[in-house]
């Protein structure tokens, strides 16, 4: 379809214009500059302009058009033109490409007033606000934070060297390519650092004020932005990424004292990094780093310092013992204290160090000794070019499927660690995977708003299901394999006929993104978990909501149901797992964790629950007592997801990076 950008066109999205060069409703040209065909409106909420998808032949582009209401404001027109001028001077993969003639004016038919346009590279990916929502607002790891800080510092280094500064850094203005490269966008508010500007800041000259709540520094709020203002906004952005909370959100922000108390919500981050981010956010510009080179030097120093093995101190019988995190405790030490202490249930290799992680000590009654058990790293699977979002193991335990932000699904032979094939077809990040009970069909959910159904044997795409208006977060299937359920960031659940790919029904009701779905063993009841902090219970046959389960104080990330269908378990970013009676909808028990709980797996007998957490552990819970039996410790990153084989000995884990780790548990 061709979209008409004439502000006065009565029907700009007329499907009958598909093959036209002239709009049949207003007579304006549809092929801009003789080569750009506008296809659809993406957003009318982007600053001063509207954002469209356009094509130059087969190449997708972004077209920004200044809203007509701003045409009479010369300063806004100047800022809009400036964005194209700035971007055309900056050649970097972290900045959208704009050709020197990227700014142009389009005149609709019979109009003397121009439409101001910028054509630029389309960044294939999500912005960091969308990406965080897609990840359940889980805080990023320290390693990822250092990587992203380094990328953005290099981008800012180039921008500042050109005597510009951005003035509006925030998660919505940072996008992530499928390669993992961050891209700083929206340079409409960028300012050139000139002597005239410095005089305006120092004197009484008028400077355009740009403000984004929670990210704008005090001096910029007063209309006096300086290059160090970008550093403040950068620090505030990483507070959000490292806590999953907005910088204006309680409890990290105290409005009575104007204090940002974020450290307790980022306990997985070292003091060195938190102190550096605090320096970026210093109240006055003079207290912040003086330039981007100072930031780059400090990040290089931090990366080297934090990569060194750390000593962990344990006190046993009033004796302090320091052991490197990447060296295992030797057996004689374990034997010496086995009457008073347990060496916790599982060990894991510290990512990137290659040695054994230190055992976590548990106090135990001498009358109930528990033998030390180990879990060993079998292999690491590399091959994705961006973050791995989800894993699933085939019912026979022989094949692993991984979905990634690089838009692909990879099929792995678990025994050999070899890649069997790569499934391509999604246009954006693959968020979720589901395998049929017979292992013959794979279902994938994507940020491209679609679901694909794949033949596992051939790797062929059987169906593509469309209908959601935002990214698809989760899938589940009825016990008979005939009905598919999908949860989306568009706040709805859709029910599909697997054989035909037809949309049977849409279930609205949640107030925010739907993160996860679980189906009862008899296939009659559906449970949905949402970022609105509630669980909804649905009658599958009628699509009616049976009840809403409130109680969590933050987003709910995962659900699982007992084999008898009588008990539901929910994992939340409020650091708890809640146990629910399905018949009454009452919360029976709350299991307290030390950080965001991201993932749950139920044992076949319904007696044991495994949970993956942002505190870098996998916990094993005794459901009859509600107590933790043992904890797997050691990973340097939080556990986003894991998959367990049918033998309950093979476990695959991921932490939001490009790697997959395969472990072997004892019988």
Q: Of 605, 613, 547, nearest to 575 (Cα)?
A: 613
Q: Which pLDDT does position 327 carry in this prediction?
A: 32
Give the chain's domains with CATH numbers.
15-121 (3.30.200.20), 125-306 (1.10.510.10), 312-363 (no CATH), 377-466+645-667 (2.130.10.10), 473-595+597-637 (2.130.10.10)
Residue 228, CA distances (Å) to 223, 289, 293 in order = 14, 7, 12
CA-nearest of 494, 506, 493, 593 to 535 is 493
Helix 271-280 to helix 292-306 angle (10° resolution) is 170
Pairwise pLDDT comparison (348 vs 554), residue with the higher score: 554
Tens of pLDDT, residue by residue over 59-75, are 889 899 998 888 888 87
Mean of the pLDDT values across residues 361-369? Answer: 32
182: left (phi over 0), alpha (psi -120 to 50) or beta: beta
Whole-number Å distance between alpha carbons of 602 and 586: 20
> Per-residue pLDDT for 511 more than 50?
yes
Q: 9-13, 163-167, 194-198, 285-289 — which is least confidently predicted? A: 194-198
Residues forming beta bridges with residue 540, ordered by sequence position = none
Tell me how crowded residue 57 is: count the other CB atoms within 10 A of its CB: 7
Q: How many whole angstroms separate alpha carbon 30 and alpha carbon 46? A: 22
Closest CA to 137 of 612, 596, 511, 516: 596
Mean pLDDT of the chain: 80
Highest mean pLDDT among 309-323, 472-486, 584-598 belongs to 472-486
Q: How far apart are CA 561 and CA 549, in angstroms?
A: 15
Report pLDDT digits (tens) over 393-423.
Answer: 998 889 999 998 788 999 999 989 999 999 9
User: In this predicted model, which residue has the larger pLDDT, 642 or 108?
Assistant: 108
Cα separation values, 28 from 88, 120, 356, Å? 28, 22, 68
Q: What's the pLDDT score for residue 385?
A: 83
Question: How confident is residue 189, by pLDDT bands cut at 50, 70 and 90?
Answer: low
Instruction: Identify whether the C-beta of residue 453 lies closer than 8 Å to the C-beta of residue 445.
Output: no
Query: pLDDT tens digits, residue range 237-274?
Result: 999 999 988 877 777 777 777 778 888 888 888 999 99
Who has greater pLDDT, 221 or 533?
533
Euclidean distance between CA atoms 495 and 638, whole angstroms:
32
Residue 460: its pLDDT value, please? 94
User: Checking DSSP bridges between strand 535-539 and strand 545-549, what pairing results, if any?
Assistant: antiparallel
**CA gap 210, 203 in Å, rounded:** 18
CA–CA separation, 447 and 489 (whole Å) = 9
Residue 144 has pLDDT above 80, yes or no: yes
Beta-carbon contacts of 275 under 8 Å, excluding residues fewer than 6 positions away, are: none
Q: pLDDT digits over 224-236, tens only? A: 788 898 999 999 9
Residue 407: which H helix or E strand, with range?
A: none
Judged against a pLDDT cut of 50, whether residue 136 lies above it is answered with: yes
Mean pLDDT within 633-640? 55
Question: Taking Cα atoms as reference points, which of 657, 553, 511 lies closest to residue 135?
Answer: 657
Helical H runs in 224-291? 229-243, 271-280
């Amino acid at each position: 379809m061709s979209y008409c950008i004439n502000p006065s066109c009565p029907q700009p999205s007329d499907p009958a214009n598909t093959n036209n060069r002239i709009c049949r409703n207003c007579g304006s040209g549809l092929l801009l500059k003789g080569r750009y065909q506008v296809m659809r409106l993406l957003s009318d909420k982007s600053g001063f302009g509207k954002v469209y998808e356009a094509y130059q032949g087969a190449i997708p582009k972004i077209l920004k058009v200044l809203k007509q209401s701003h045409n009479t404001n010369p300063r806004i027109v100047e800022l809009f033109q400036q964005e194209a001028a700035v971007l055309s001077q900056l050649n970097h993969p972290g900045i959208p490409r704009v050709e020197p003639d990227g700014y142009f004016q389009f005149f609709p038919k019979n109009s003397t007033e121009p439409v101001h346009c910028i054509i630029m590279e389309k960044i294939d990916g999500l912005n960091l606000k969308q990406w965080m929502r897609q990840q359940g607002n889980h805080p990023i790891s320290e390693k990822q934070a250092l990587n992203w800080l380094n990328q953005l510092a290099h981008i800012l280094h180039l921008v500042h060297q050109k005597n510009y500064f951005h003035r509006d850094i925030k998660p919505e203005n940072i996008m992530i390519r499928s390669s993992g490269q961050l891209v700083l966008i929206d340079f409409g508010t960028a300012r050139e650092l000139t002597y005239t500007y410095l005089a305006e800041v120092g004197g009484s000259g008028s400077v355009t004020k740009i403000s984004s709540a929670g990210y704008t520094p005090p001096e910029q709020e007063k209309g006096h932005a300086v290059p160090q203002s970008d550093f403040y906004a950068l620090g505030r952005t990483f507070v959000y990424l490292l806590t999953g909370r907005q910088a204006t959100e309680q409890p990290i922000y105290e409005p009575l004292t104007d204090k940002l108390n974020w450290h307790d919500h980022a306990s997985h981050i070292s003091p060195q990094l938190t102190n550096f981010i605090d320096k970026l956010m210093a109240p006055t510009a003079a207290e912040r780093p003086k330039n981007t080179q100072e930031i780059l030097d400090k990040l290089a120093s931090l990366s080297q310092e934090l990569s060194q093995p750390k000593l962990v101190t344990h006190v046993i019988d009033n004796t302090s013992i320091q052991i490197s995190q990447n060296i295992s405790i030797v057996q004689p030490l374990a034997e010496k204290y086995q009457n008073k202490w347990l060496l916790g249930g599982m060990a894991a290799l510290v990512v990137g160090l290659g040695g054994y992680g230190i055992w976590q000590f548990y106090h135990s009654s001498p009358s109930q000794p528990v033998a030390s058990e180990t879990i060993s790293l079998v292999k690491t699977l590399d091959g994705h070019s961006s973050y791995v979002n989800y894993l699933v193991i085939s019912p026979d335990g022989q094949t692993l499927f991984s979905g990634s932000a690089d838009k692909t699904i990879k099929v792995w032979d678990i025994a050999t660690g070899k890649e069997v094939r790569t499934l391509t077809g999604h246009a954006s990040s693959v968020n979720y995977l589901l395998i049929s009970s017979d292992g013959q069909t794979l279902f994938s959910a994507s940020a491209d708003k679609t679901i694909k159904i794949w033949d596992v044997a051939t790797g062929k795409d059987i169906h593509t299901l469309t209908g959601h208006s935002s990214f698809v977060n989760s899938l589940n299937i009825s016990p008979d394999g005939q009905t598919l359920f999908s949860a989306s960031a568009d706040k709805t659940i859709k029910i599909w006929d697997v054989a035909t790919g037809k949309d049977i029904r849409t279930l609205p009701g949640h107030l925010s993104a739907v993160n996860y779905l679980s189906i009862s063993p008899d296939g009659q009841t559906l449970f949905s978990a949402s970022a609105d902090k509630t669980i909804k219970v649905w009658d599958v046959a009628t699509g009616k909501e049976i009840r809403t389960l409130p109680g969590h104080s933050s987003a709910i990330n995962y659900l699982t149901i007992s084999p008898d269908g009588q008990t539901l378990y929910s994992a939340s970013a409020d650091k708890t797992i809640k146990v629910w009676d399905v018949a009454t909808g009452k919360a029976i028990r709350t299991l307290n964790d030390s950080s965001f709980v991201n993932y749950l797996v139920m044992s076949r007998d319904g007696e044991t629950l495994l949970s993956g957490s942002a505190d870098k552990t996998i916990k094993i819970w005794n459901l009859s007592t509600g107590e933790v039996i043992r904890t797997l410790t050691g990973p340097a990153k939080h556990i986003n997801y894991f998959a367990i084989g049918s033998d309950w000995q093979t476990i695959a884990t991921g932490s939001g990076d490009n790697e997959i780790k395969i472990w072997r548990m004892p019988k």
